[in-house]
Amino acid sequence: MNDGDTGVLELEVIALRRESDCVLSVELADPEKRALPGWKPGAHIDLGLPEHIRQYSLVGDPSDRHSYRIAVLREPESSGGSSYVHAQLRPGELVEIGGPRNNFPLAGADRYLMIAGGVGITPLLPMIRELHAQNKDWRLLYGGRSRRSMAYLAELAEYGRRVDVRPFDECGHLDLDSELATPSDNTVVYCCGPEALISAVENHCETWPAGALHVERFSARPRDDEDDLRAFELVLASSGQRFTVPAESSALDVLGAAGIDLPNACRDGVCGSCETRVLAGLPLHRDALADPDRTDIVYPCVSRSRSAELVLDL
Ligand code: FES
Protein backbone atom coordinates (compact mmCIF):
# COMPACT_ATOMS: atom_id res chain seq x y z
CA MET A 1 0.00 0.00 0.00
CA ASN A 2 1.23 3.41 -0.84
CA ASP A 3 -0.18 6.29 1.13
CA GLY A 4 0.71 9.72 2.34
CA ASP A 5 2.80 10.84 -0.62
CA THR A 6 2.88 14.61 -0.34
CA GLY A 7 5.23 15.70 -3.11
CA VAL A 8 8.59 17.35 -2.57
CA LEU A 9 9.53 19.47 0.46
CA GLU A 10 12.71 21.41 1.15
CA LEU A 11 13.85 20.71 4.70
CA GLU A 12 16.80 21.80 6.81
CA VAL A 13 19.22 19.44 8.52
CA ILE A 14 18.89 20.47 12.17
CA ALA A 15 20.95 17.76 13.86
CA LEU A 16 23.23 14.81 13.20
CA ARG A 17 23.77 12.10 15.81
CA ARG A 18 25.96 9.01 15.82
CA GLU A 19 23.80 5.98 16.65
CA SER A 20 26.55 3.35 16.25
CA ASP A 21 30.03 3.16 14.74
CA CYS A 22 28.51 3.10 11.24
CA VAL A 23 25.04 4.64 11.58
CA LEU A 24 24.38 8.38 11.64
CA SER A 25 20.92 9.77 12.28
CA VAL A 26 19.78 12.94 10.52
CA GLU A 27 17.05 15.18 11.89
CA LEU A 28 15.17 17.36 9.41
CA ALA A 29 12.72 20.21 9.91
CA ASP A 30 10.98 22.88 7.90
CA PRO A 31 13.17 26.03 7.80
CA GLU A 32 10.08 28.11 8.69
CA LYS A 33 9.12 25.67 11.47
CA ARG A 34 5.89 24.66 9.69
CA ALA A 35 4.29 21.34 10.61
CA LEU A 36 5.34 18.39 8.45
CA PRO A 37 3.03 15.85 6.81
CA GLY A 38 2.01 13.08 9.18
CA TRP A 39 3.23 9.50 8.90
CA LYS A 40 2.76 6.10 10.49
CA PRO A 41 5.32 3.47 11.56
CA GLY A 42 6.88 1.80 8.50
CA ALA A 43 6.88 4.98 6.39
CA HIS A 44 9.93 6.22 4.53
CA ILE A 45 11.00 9.40 2.76
CA ASP A 46 13.00 9.94 -0.42
CA LEU A 47 16.10 11.97 0.41
CA GLY A 48 17.47 14.03 -2.47
CA LEU A 49 21.29 14.18 -2.45
CA PRO A 50 23.66 15.42 -5.13
CA GLU A 51 23.12 12.98 -8.04
CA HIS A 52 21.16 10.54 -5.88
CA ILE A 53 17.71 10.00 -4.45
CA ARG A 54 17.67 7.41 -1.67
CA GLN A 55 14.89 5.96 0.47
CA TYR A 56 15.20 6.03 4.26
CA SER A 57 12.72 4.85 6.89
CA LEU A 58 11.45 7.35 9.41
CA VAL A 59 12.75 6.31 12.82
CA GLY A 60 11.47 9.16 15.00
CA ASP A 61 8.15 9.74 16.73
CA PRO A 62 5.10 10.06 14.45
CA SER A 63 3.43 12.39 16.97
CA ASP A 64 6.27 14.90 16.48
CA ARG A 65 4.92 16.93 13.57
CA HIS A 66 7.91 19.27 13.41
CA SER A 67 10.81 16.97 12.63
CA TYR A 68 11.68 13.82 10.72
CA ARG A 69 14.52 11.53 11.75
CA ILE A 70 16.24 8.99 9.51
CA ALA A 71 19.26 6.75 10.10
CA VAL A 72 21.91 6.23 7.45
CA LEU A 73 24.39 3.37 7.31
CA ARG A 74 27.91 4.16 6.11
CA GLU A 75 28.41 1.75 3.23
CA PRO A 76 31.97 1.47 1.86
CA GLU A 77 30.59 0.24 -1.48
CA SER A 78 27.98 3.01 -1.65
CA SER A 79 27.45 4.75 -4.97
CA GLY A 80 27.62 8.04 -3.13
CA GLY A 81 24.42 8.50 -1.11
CA SER A 82 25.56 7.18 2.25
CA SER A 83 29.11 8.50 1.94
CA TYR A 84 27.77 11.97 1.19
CA VAL A 85 25.56 11.90 4.29
CA HIS A 86 28.40 10.72 6.53
CA ALA A 87 31.20 12.87 5.11
CA GLN A 88 29.55 16.05 3.90
CA LEU A 89 25.98 16.64 5.05
CA ARG A 90 25.99 19.14 7.91
CA PRO A 91 23.41 21.04 10.03
CA GLY A 92 21.99 24.04 8.20
CA GLU A 93 22.05 22.36 4.79
CA LEU A 94 18.79 22.24 2.85
CA VAL A 95 17.73 18.96 1.26
CA GLU A 96 14.74 17.94 -0.83
CA ILE A 97 12.62 15.11 0.45
CA GLY A 98 9.70 13.24 -1.11
CA GLY A 99 6.96 11.42 0.77
CA PRO A 100 6.40 10.28 3.45
CA ARG A 101 5.18 7.10 1.81
CA ASN A 102 4.29 3.83 3.55
CA ASN A 103 4.85 0.49 1.78
CA PHE A 104 5.35 -1.35 5.09
CA PRO A 105 2.33 -0.60 7.30
CA LEU A 106 1.70 -2.32 10.60
CA ALA A 107 -1.05 -4.94 10.28
CA GLY A 108 -3.44 -6.01 13.04
CA ALA A 109 -2.49 -9.33 14.69
CA ASP A 110 -2.36 -11.10 18.05
CA ARG A 111 1.43 -11.51 18.04
CA TYR A 112 4.32 -9.82 16.28
CA LEU A 113 7.77 -11.21 15.59
CA MET A 114 10.09 -8.46 14.38
CA ILE A 115 13.38 -9.45 12.73
CA ALA A 116 15.97 -6.76 12.06
CA GLY A 117 19.39 -6.98 10.49
CA GLY A 118 21.69 -3.99 11.01
CA VAL A 119 20.19 -0.68 9.95
CA GLY A 120 16.99 -2.61 9.11
CA ILE A 121 16.04 -1.79 12.71
CA THR A 122 14.94 1.69 11.58
CA PRO A 123 11.39 1.00 10.27
CA LEU A 124 10.81 -1.50 13.09
CA LEU A 125 11.65 0.89 15.93
CA PRO A 126 8.55 3.13 15.58
CA MET A 127 6.46 -0.04 15.17
CA ILE A 128 7.85 -1.45 18.40
CA ARG A 129 7.14 1.77 20.27
CA GLU A 130 3.55 1.68 19.02
CA LEU A 131 3.03 -2.02 19.78
CA HIS A 132 4.46 -1.53 23.25
CA ALA A 133 2.22 1.49 23.91
CA GLN A 134 -0.76 -0.65 22.88
CA ASN A 135 0.34 -3.48 25.18
CA LYS A 136 0.64 -5.89 22.25
CA ASP A 137 2.46 -9.20 22.34
CA TRP A 138 5.71 -8.60 20.41
CA ARG A 139 9.32 -9.75 20.26
CA LEU A 140 12.33 -8.44 18.39
CA LEU A 141 15.19 -10.53 17.07
CA TYR A 142 17.98 -8.09 16.19
CA GLY A 143 21.15 -9.16 14.44
CA GLY A 144 24.16 -7.11 13.39
CA ARG A 145 27.87 -7.35 12.77
CA SER A 146 28.84 -6.42 16.35
CA ARG A 147 27.31 -4.45 19.24
CA ARG A 148 29.33 -1.40 18.22
CA SER A 149 27.70 -1.45 14.79
CA MET A 150 24.11 -1.89 16.05
CA ALA A 151 22.07 1.29 16.45
CA TYR A 152 19.54 2.05 19.20
CA LEU A 153 20.68 -0.67 21.63
CA ALA A 154 20.25 1.61 24.65
CA GLU A 155 16.62 2.37 23.79
CA LEU A 156 15.90 -1.28 23.02
CA ALA A 157 17.37 -2.38 26.37
CA GLU A 158 14.40 -0.68 28.04
CA TYR A 159 12.13 -3.40 26.64
CA GLY A 160 13.96 -6.13 28.54
CA ARG A 161 13.41 -9.73 27.46
CA ARG A 162 11.19 -8.85 24.51
CA VAL A 163 14.37 -7.88 22.67
CA ASP A 164 16.93 -10.52 21.70
CA VAL A 165 20.15 -8.81 20.55
CA ARG A 166 22.34 -11.25 18.59
CA PRO A 167 25.59 -9.68 17.32
CA PHE A 168 27.26 -11.93 14.74
CA ASP A 169 30.69 -11.75 16.40
CA GLU A 170 29.19 -13.15 19.62
CA CYS A 171 26.35 -15.39 18.43
CA GLY A 172 26.80 -16.17 14.73
CA HIS A 173 23.84 -15.99 12.35
CA LEU A 174 20.30 -15.47 13.67
CA ASP A 175 18.69 -18.79 14.49
CA LEU A 176 15.82 -18.59 12.01
CA ASP A 177 15.37 -22.38 12.06
CA SER A 178 14.02 -22.35 15.57
CA GLU A 179 12.35 -18.93 15.42
CA LEU A 180 10.35 -19.68 12.27
CA ALA A 181 10.17 -23.48 12.26
CA THR A 182 6.51 -23.66 13.23
CA PRO A 183 3.95 -21.43 11.51
CA SER A 184 1.95 -19.74 14.18
CA ASP A 185 -1.66 -18.65 13.76
CA ASN A 186 -2.29 -14.96 14.01
CA THR A 187 1.40 -14.13 14.34
CA VAL A 188 2.84 -11.73 11.82
CA VAL A 189 6.52 -11.47 10.99
CA TYR A 190 8.10 -8.15 10.05
CA CYS A 191 11.60 -8.18 8.60
CA CYS A 192 13.98 -5.52 7.34
CA GLY A 193 17.70 -5.84 6.76
CA PRO A 194 20.22 -6.99 4.18
CA GLU A 195 19.02 -9.03 1.20
CA ALA A 196 20.53 -12.26 2.56
CA LEU A 197 18.49 -11.97 5.76
CA ILE A 198 15.25 -11.06 3.97
CA SER A 199 15.64 -13.95 1.51
CA ALA A 200 16.36 -16.38 4.35
CA VAL A 201 13.29 -15.21 6.28
CA GLU A 202 11.17 -15.52 3.11
CA ASN A 203 12.39 -19.09 2.64
CA HIS A 204 11.66 -20.01 6.25
CA CYS A 205 8.16 -18.51 6.03
CA GLU A 206 7.11 -20.39 2.89
CA THR A 207 4.88 -22.65 4.97
CA TRP A 208 3.42 -19.80 7.01
CA PRO A 209 -0.11 -18.54 6.27
CA ALA A 210 -0.42 -16.14 3.33
CA GLY A 211 0.03 -12.57 4.47
CA ALA A 212 1.93 -13.46 7.66
CA LEU A 213 5.26 -12.14 6.42
CA HIS A 214 5.94 -8.46 5.76
CA VAL A 215 9.33 -7.38 4.48
CA GLU A 216 10.86 -4.11 3.40
CA ARG A 217 13.77 -3.91 1.00
CA PHE A 218 15.69 -0.76 0.19
CA SER A 219 17.55 -2.35 -2.66
CA ALA A 220 16.13 -4.02 -5.72
CA ARG A 221 14.83 -7.57 -5.44
CA PRO A 222 17.29 -9.95 -7.16
CA ARG A 223 16.21 -10.26 -10.82
CA ASP A 224 17.68 -12.84 -13.16
CA ASP A 225 15.05 -12.72 -15.89
CA GLU A 226 16.52 -10.02 -18.14
CA ASP A 227 16.92 -12.50 -21.02
CA ASP A 228 13.29 -13.63 -20.82
CA LEU A 229 11.55 -10.28 -20.92
CA ARG A 230 8.85 -9.96 -23.59
CA ALA A 231 7.19 -6.97 -25.17
CA PHE A 232 3.64 -6.15 -24.06
CA GLU A 233 0.95 -3.58 -24.73
CA LEU A 234 -0.06 -0.83 -22.32
CA VAL A 235 -3.55 0.63 -22.62
CA LEU A 236 -4.56 3.84 -20.84
CA ALA A 237 -8.13 3.46 -19.59
CA SER A 238 -9.02 7.16 -19.80
CA SER A 239 -8.08 7.71 -23.44
CA GLY A 240 -7.73 4.23 -24.92
CA GLN A 241 -4.19 5.13 -26.06
CA ARG A 242 -1.99 2.09 -26.65
CA PHE A 243 1.77 1.78 -26.29
CA THR A 244 4.09 -1.11 -26.97
CA VAL A 245 6.66 -1.70 -24.24
CA PRO A 246 9.60 -3.44 -25.92
CA ALA A 247 11.62 -6.02 -24.01
CA GLU A 248 14.50 -3.61 -23.55
CA SER A 249 12.49 -0.63 -22.19
CA SER A 250 10.50 -0.04 -19.04
CA ALA A 251 6.84 0.90 -19.07
CA LEU A 252 7.84 4.04 -17.13
CA ASP A 253 10.19 5.11 -19.93
CA VAL A 254 7.66 4.34 -22.66
CA LEU A 255 5.03 6.45 -20.87
CA GLY A 256 7.56 9.22 -20.21
CA ALA A 257 8.52 9.36 -23.90
CA ALA A 258 4.83 9.90 -24.67
CA GLY A 259 4.68 12.82 -22.22
CA ILE A 260 2.98 10.84 -19.43
CA ASP A 261 5.31 11.43 -16.50
CA LEU A 262 4.76 9.36 -13.37
CA PRO A 263 6.61 10.02 -10.09
CA ASN A 264 9.82 7.97 -10.15
CA ALA A 265 11.96 8.52 -7.08
CA CYS A 266 14.01 5.31 -7.36
CA ARG A 267 13.34 3.81 -10.83
CA ASP A 268 14.30 0.49 -9.28
CA GLY A 269 11.12 -0.93 -7.78
CA VAL A 270 11.83 -0.02 -4.16
CA CYS A 271 10.22 3.33 -3.31
CA GLY A 272 6.62 2.89 -4.47
CA SER A 273 6.31 6.37 -5.98
CA CYS A 274 5.31 5.13 -9.46
CA GLU A 275 2.54 2.83 -8.19
CA THR A 276 -0.26 2.66 -10.75
CA ARG A 277 -3.62 0.89 -10.58
CA VAL A 278 -4.19 -1.98 -13.00
CA LEU A 279 -7.73 -2.38 -14.34
CA ALA A 280 -7.19 -5.46 -16.53
CA GLY A 281 -4.35 -7.85 -17.30
CA LEU A 282 -1.82 -9.66 -15.13
CA PRO A 283 1.19 -7.70 -13.87
CA LEU A 284 4.59 -9.36 -13.64
CA HIS A 285 6.06 -7.96 -10.42
CA ARG A 286 9.80 -7.43 -10.61
CA ASP A 287 9.78 -4.80 -7.87
CA ALA A 288 10.63 -5.24 -4.19
CA LEU A 289 7.17 -4.13 -3.05
CA ALA A 290 4.17 -6.02 -4.38
CA ASP A 291 3.04 -9.47 -3.37
CA PRO A 292 3.66 -11.59 -6.51
CA ASP A 293 -0.05 -12.51 -6.62
CA ARG A 294 -1.37 -8.95 -6.60
CA THR A 295 -3.14 -8.00 -9.80
CA ASP A 296 -4.47 -4.54 -8.92
CA ILE A 297 -1.24 -2.51 -8.97
CA VAL A 298 1.99 -2.30 -10.92
CA TYR A 299 5.26 -0.40 -10.51
CA PRO A 300 6.05 0.54 -14.12
CA CYS A 301 9.70 1.42 -13.44
CA VAL A 302 10.67 -2.28 -13.42
CA SER A 303 7.52 -4.40 -13.46
CA ARG A 304 5.94 -5.72 -16.62
CA SER A 305 3.02 -7.86 -17.77
CA ARG A 306 2.31 -11.59 -17.85
CA SER A 307 -0.60 -10.94 -20.18
CA ALA A 308 -0.26 -9.55 -23.70
CA GLU A 309 -1.96 -6.37 -22.51
CA LEU A 310 -2.13 -4.35 -19.30
CA VAL A 311 -4.87 -1.74 -18.84
CA LEU A 312 -3.81 1.04 -16.48
CA ASP A 313 -5.95 3.49 -14.54
CA LEU A 314 -4.35 6.43 -16.31
S1 FES B 1 10.10 4.63 -9.14
FE2 FES B 1 10.35 3.71 -7.20
S3 FES B 1 9.04 1.97 -7.34
FE4 FES B 1 8.96 2.81 -9.30
For 57-88, the pLDDT digits (tens) are 999 999 999 999 999 999 877 667 888 999 99
In the reported structure, the alpha carbon of residue 48 is separated from the centroid of ligand 1 by a whole-number distance in angstroms of 15
pLDDT at 5: 53
Percent with pLDDT over 90 in the chain:
84
Sketch the domain layout of the chain as residue ranges: 3-102, 111-216, 226-312
- Contacts of residue 221, Cβ cutoff 8 Å, sequence gap at least 6: 269, 286, 287, 288
In the reported structure, the alpha carbon of residue 271 is separated from the centroid of ligand 1 by a whole-number distance in angstroms of 5
Kindly state if the Cβ of 99 falls inside 6 Å of ligand 1: no
pLDDT at 209: 93
CA distance 38 to 68: 10
CA distance 298 to 206: 23
Which of the pair, 52 or 47, is modelled with greater confidence?
Answer: 47
pLDDT at 4: 47
8 A C-beta contact, residue 39 and residue 102: yes
- pLDDT above 60 for 1: no
pLDDT at 78: 66
CA distance 178 to 190: 16
In the reported structure, the alpha carbon of residue 200 is separated from the centroid of ligand 1 by a whole-number distance in angstroms of 24
In the reported structure, the alpha carbon of residue 273 is separated from the centroid of ligand 1 by a whole-number distance in angstroms of 5
Element (H, E) at 84: helix 81-87
State the average pLDDT over residues 99-113: 95
pLDDT at 2: 44
Kindly state if the Cβ of 301 falls inside 6 Å of ligand 1: yes
Residue 165: closest CA among 203, 122, 116, 205: 116
Report the residue among 45, 47, 219, 273 best suited for mutation to probe ligand 1: largest number of ligand atoms under 8 A from its CB: 273
pLDDT at 290: 87
- pLDDT above 90 for 269: yes
Report the residue among 46, 254, 299 best suited for mutation to probe ligand 1: largest number of ligand atoms under 8 A from its CB: 299
Which CATH number does 111-216 carry?
3.40.50.80
Which of the pair, 39 or 75, is modelled with greater confidence?
Answer: 39
Residue 30: closest CA among 57, 68, 3: 68
Which of the pair, 269 or 4, is modelled with greater confidence?
Answer: 269
Ligand 1 atom closest to Cα of residue 289: 3
In the reported structure, the alpha carbon of residue 109 is separated from the centroid of ligand 1 by a whole-number distance in angstroms of 29
Kindly state if the Cβ of 180 falls inside 6 Å of ligand 1: no
Ligand 1 atom closest to Cα of residue 271: 2
Which CATH number does 226-312 carry?
3.10.20.30
Pick from 15-19, 217-221, 260-264, 288-292: least confident: 217-221
Which of the pair, 80 or 14, is modelled with greater confidence?
Answer: 14
Record: fold of 3-102: Elongation Factor Tu (Ef-tu); domain 3 (2.40.30)
Pairing outcome for strands 111-117 and 187-192:
parallel
- Mean pLDDT in the chain? 93
Confidence of residue 219 (pLDDT cuts 50, 70, 90): confident
pLDDT at 6: 59
- Contacts of residue 60, Cβ cutoff 8 Å, sequence gap at least 6: 27, 67, 68, 69, 126
pLDDT tens digits for 140-171? 999 999 999 999 999 999 999 999 999 999 99
